[in-house]
A and B are shown apart, each in its own frame.
Chain A
C-alpha cells in the first residue's frame, strides 16, 4: 500500500542535495525547520492520544510523540552546533504549532495523513543519509540514521493501524487518497493565502503612502497622553 504513495519531494531532494547542504548556515536553517516539523508532529500526536478511544492506540501515539520530541531535539542541537562553529547564535527556540488534525480529519484520516508524512520523511531522510555517507560526513549521516530507524517504524505501524481502524486494505487506500486530496487542497489554500497576503501587503503599502497627507495632518492631534488620565477618557470601565 505505502509504495503506491508517490511524492516529488524525495526525488527533488536527491537532485538538489549537493547544493542544498553546501552552506553550513543553510544546513542549520534546514535542520531547524525539521526540528520545527517534528515538534509540531509531536503536538498533533499528543492531542491524538488524548482524543482516541483506544488505550492501545493512545500508547502508540504517545511513543511516537516521544520519538518526534527526540528528533526535534537532535535536529535543533545539530543546527545550533553548525551555527556555533560559524560563531553564530542558535536560531531560537523551537515553537511548535498544530493544526487540530485529529479533530479535523477523524482518526482514520489522521492516520492516513501521518502515514503519508512518515513515508515522505523516510524517503527524504534516506536520500540525505546517502548524500552524507557519500560525502563522508559521519555526524550528519549518523543523525539521519538515528532518525530513520524511527521513521521506518512509524511508517510501518501507522500503515498497520490505518488498515485496522479503516476496516481493511481498500478502505485504507481510500483514506490515503482522501489524505492526499486534503493535503493538495491545503497546499492550494496556503498558496492562495500567500498570494492574498502579498496582494494585501502591497495594497496596504500603497494605502500607507496614500494616507500620508491625512496622517501627517492628524499627527499633532494624536499626541500620546502621559501620566494619569481620567477613567472616562481611557475607555477603562466601558461595556458592550
Chain B
C-alpha cells in the first residue's frame, strides 16, 4: 500500500496527481492555481493541493514519479542538434541552455520543492506515462494502446499492449517523424499559437474542403506498415522551433496566415484557403492515425483501443478511429495531453510498489473542491448579492431554459482541458443565439468555433449517433447528430453535422446531472450547451476569486457558486 505523487512539468501544462493504495485521489494542472495558461513550471501549488486533498504530508509519500526521462531527453536534443549541423546553429544555445540549465535537474528540483528525500524521486518514460494514463484509467482488461504526441524523449508515437496492470511496448516511431509536430507546425502556419490553437485548427477544418490532400501527401507519407514519415524539408524542428515549418511549406501551400488577423470565411479568399488547408491537415492526420490504429489491431489482436498524447485530443480523429479502425471500443482519458502524464506516472509508481490497478476512471472531477463559503464572503465584499437557493440545479435550469447564460462553479474542478460540468458556462442548446452571444460577447473567440452539448446518457442515443460510448463522458470524441434532430439543437451542432458530446451520469458529472434532469423537467430537452468557464487566453476557473472575477468581467446572467446564486438582474 503506497502513496505516490506523479509530476509532469517543464514543457507545457504542468500537473500533479496523487494515487494512494491504487486509488486516484486527485489530479490537477498548475495553470488553475498560477493563472498562467498551460503553465509549464513545476506544479508546486497543484502538488500541495493534491497532498492536502489526500490528507498526506510530503514526508509520507512512498514515491514521487516524474513523467519523463530527463537524461534520454537531453540525449535526443544533442543528437538532433548534431544531426542538423550546421543548420542548428540558432537552436544550439537555447536548446542546450534549457536542458542543462534546468530540465536535467528536474528530479532534484522536485525533491527540493516537496522537501522529500531525493531517493524517492524517480522517473518513467514519457510515452509510458501517457500509455498508463490511458490504459490504467480505462475500463479494459486487455487493449492496444497508442500514444501519439509531439515528442517525448526520442519517441513521438508508441504502440503498447496493455494486459491487466502491465504495459508492453511493441514499437515506436522516433523524432522528427511526429503527428504532434506536424499539427503544431500547421497551427503556426495558420496563424494560431502552438500548443493553444490546435483546437481552432480543428474547428476551422469543418469550414474547408480538403483540396490540398495531394500536397499534404508530400508532407506526410503513410507507410504500408501503419507508420508514417514527415518530409524534413517542409519542417524546421531543429532550426526554428518557434514555427516549426520551413519556407518550403509556404512554397507548397501559399503564404502563412499572419497571427491575430480576424477571420472572415465569407468573403476573404485567403481565409477560405486556410480553412481548406486545415481540412486537408485534418484528413491527413486522421488517415495517419487510422494507419497506426489498424497496425495496432493487427499486432495485438485486441478488441479495445486506448489513446493518449496530445494528438489524442483531436476529437474528430478519435471518432473516425472508433468507426473505422476495427476496434469494438475506444477510450481516451480526459487529460490525454502532458498533464495526464502526471497521472500516468503516479499510476505506474503505484503499480510498481505493488498496489492494484485503479477502478476505471468514472469522472474528471479530480481537482480542488469549490469553497462556497469563501465565494459568498467575497461576493459580499464585492457588493454582489449571493442568495442561498434551496435547489441550485433547478435555479440554474430555470434560467438556462429562459435563454440566460449561467456560469456554474460546484464541486471539484476538472482534470484536463475540458469543462465537464464543474466549472462550466451553460446555455440553452436549442437557441442559435446562445452560440453567437457566447462566441462574440462572452468568450470573444473566432466565430467558426463550435460549442459542445452535454446530454443525459439516457437521452444521448436518441440524439447523437454512437453515443454514449467510452469517450463521451469526457468529451474526447465527436458524434454525428441524428439528422432529424439537428434543427432542434442549433447552438451545439457544428457545420459538419457533428458535436463534441458529453454524456452525463450522476457519477461522471455529479453537479451537471441534476441540472440536466431539471432542464428535462422544465423543457423536455435534457441537453445544454456546455463550454469552459474562462475568458479568452485564461485557464479555466478554479476557485472563488477567479469565478467572481469572471462574473464581474463578462456579461453572463447568473453565477452559481455551490448552493448560492448571484444574478446580474433578478429573474
Residues of A within 8 A of B (CB): 43, 46-47, 49-50, 55-56, 58-59, 62-63, 65-66, 69, 80, 89-98, 200-201, 204-205, 208, 211-212, 215-216, 218-219, 222-231, 234-240
CB <8 Å contact, A62 and B155? no
Are A229 and B172 CB-contacts (below 8 A) given A63-B382, A218-B82? yes
Contacts of B34 in A (CB 8 A): 43, 47, 98
Chain B CB within 10 A, most for which of A200, A215, A235: A235
From residue A195, how far is it (CB to closest CB) to chain B in Å?
14
Q: List 25 A-B contacts (CB under 8 A).
A: A46-B546, A55-B377, A59-B382, A62-B382, A65-B549, A89-B260, A90-B260, A91-B260, A95-B537, A204-B96, A208-B93, A212-B86, A216-B85, A224-B175, A225-B174, A226-B177, A226-B227, A228-B171, A229-B172, A231-B168, A231-B169, A236-B127, A237-B125, A238-B72, A238-B128
B301 contacts the other chain (CB 8 A): no
Q: Can you list the 6 inter-chain pairs with the closest CB atoms, starting with the nearest?
A: A231-B169, A59-B381, A89-B258, A90-B260, A234-B172, A240-B122
- Chain B 320-352: CB-based contact to A (< 8 A → 1; otherwise 0): 000000000000000000000000000000000
CB <8 Å contact, B176 and A224? yes
CB <8 Å contact, A94 and B549? no
Chain B CB within 10 A, most for which of A43, A96, A222: A222
CA distance A205 to B96 in the complex (A): 12
CB <8 Å contact, A226 and B229? yes
Are A92 and B227 CB-contacts (below 8 A) given A55-B377, A59-B378, A229-B174? no
CB-nearest residue of chain A relative to B101?
A200
Are A204 and B176 CB-contacts (below 8 A) given A55-B377, A89-B260? no
CB-nearest residue of chain B relative to A48?
B545
CA distance A216 to B158 in the complex (A): 30
Question: Which chain B residues in 14-73 approach chain A with CB under 8 Å?
Answer: 33-37, 69, 72
CB <8 Å contact, A50 and B259? no
- Chain B 119-135: CB-based contact to A (< 8 A → 1; otherwise 0): 00011110110000000
CB <8 Å contact, A236 and B155? yes
CB <8 Å contact, B381 and A55? yes
CB-nearest residue of chain B relative to A57?
B381
CB <8 Å contact, B125 and A235? yes
CA distance A231 to B35 in the complex (A): 38
CB <8 Å contact, B382 and A235? no
CB <8 Å contact, A208 and B381? no
Say which residue of B35, B174, B175, B382 sits within 8 Å of A46 (CB atoms). B35
Contacts of A50 in B (CB 8 A): 33, 543, 545
CB <8 Å contact, A93 and B537? yes
B114 contacts the other chain (CB 8 A): no
CB <8 Å contact, A229 and B69? no
B223 contacts the other chain (CB 8 A): yes
Chain B CB within 10 A, most for which of A90, A230, A238: A238
B380 contacts the other chain (CB 8 A): yes
Are A235 and B549 CB-contacts (below 8 A) given A43-B35, A240-B69? no
CB <8 Å contact, A62 and B545? yes
Say which residue of A89, A200, A227 sits within 8 Å of B229 (CB atoms). A227
Say which residue of B97, B124, B223, B553 sits within 8 Å of A200 (CB atoms). B97
Contacts of B155 in A (CB 8 A): 234-236
CB-nearest residue of chain A relative to B295?
A228
B105 contacts the other chain (CB 8 A): no
Question: Which chain B residues in 535-554 approach chain A with CB under 8 Å?
Answer: 537, 543, 545-546, 548-549, 552-553
Are A231 and B225 CB-contacts (below 8 A) given A93-B193, A212-B86, A222-B83? no
Contacts of A225 in B (CB 8 A): 174
Contacts of B89 in A (CB 8 A): 205, 208
From residue B178, how far is it (CB to closest CB) to chain A in Å?
11
- Chain B 146-168: CB-based contact to A (< 8 A → 1; otherwise 0): 00000011110011000000011
CB <8 Å contact, B380 and A47? no
CB-nearest residue of chain B relative to A208?
B92
From residue B508, how far is it (CB to closest CB) to chain A in Å?
28
Contacts of B175 in A (CB 8 A): 224
CB <8 Å contact, A212 and B85? yes
B389 contacts the other chain (CB 8 A): no
Contacts of A237 in B (CB 8 A): 125, 128, 167-169
CA distance A58 to B379 in the complex (A): 10
Contacts of A235 in B (CB 8 A): 69, 72, 125, 153-155
Contacts of A231 in B (CB 8 A): 158, 168-172
Are A94 and B172 CB-contacts (below 8 A) given A58-B378, A238-B69? no
From residue A204, how far is it (CB to closest CB) to chain B in Å?
4
Chain B CB within 10 A, most for which of A65, A212, A236, A239: A236
Contacts of B258 in A (CB 8 A): 89
Contacts of A228 in B (CB 8 A): 159, 171-173, 225-227, 295
CA distance A93 to B382 in the complex (A): 30
Contacts of B458 in A (CB 8 A): none
Are A236 and B123 CB-contacts (below 8 A) given A208-B92, A227-B225? no
Contacts of B33 in A (CB 8 A): 47, 50
CA distance A63 to B379 in the complex (A): 12
B79 contacts the other chain (CB 8 A): yes
With A46-B546, A55-B381, A94-B537 given, can you name 13 additional A-B contacts, CB distance below 8 Å?
Answer: A46-B35, A58-B378, A59-B381, A90-B261, A91-B260, A92-B260, A222-B79, A223-B83, A224-B174, A226-B229, A228-B173, A231-B172, A238-B72
CB <8 Å contact, A62 and B36? no
Say which residue of B35, B83, B128, B169 sits within 8 Å of A47 (CB atoms). B35
CB <8 Å contact, A49 and B69? no
Contacts of B159 in A (CB 8 A): 228
CB-nearest residue of chain A relative to B546?
A46
CB <8 Å contact, B125 and A238? yes
CB <8 Å contact, A66 and B549? yes
CB <8 Å contact, A69 and B553? yes
CA distance A63 to B553 in the complex (A): 10
CA distance A223 to B173 in the complex (A): 14
Contacts of A212 in B (CB 8 A): 85-86
Are A201 and B93 CB-contacts (below 8 A) given A89-B260, A240-B124? yes
- Chain B 256-278: CB-based contact to A (< 8 A → 1; otherwise 0): 00111100000000000000000
CB <8 Å contact, B381 and A56? yes
From residue B238, how far is it (CB to closest CB) to chain A in Å?
11
CA distance A212 to B92 in the complex (A): 13
Contacts of B543 in A (CB 8 A): 50
CA distance A227 to B230 in the complex (A): 10
CA distance A163 to B476 in the complex (A): 52
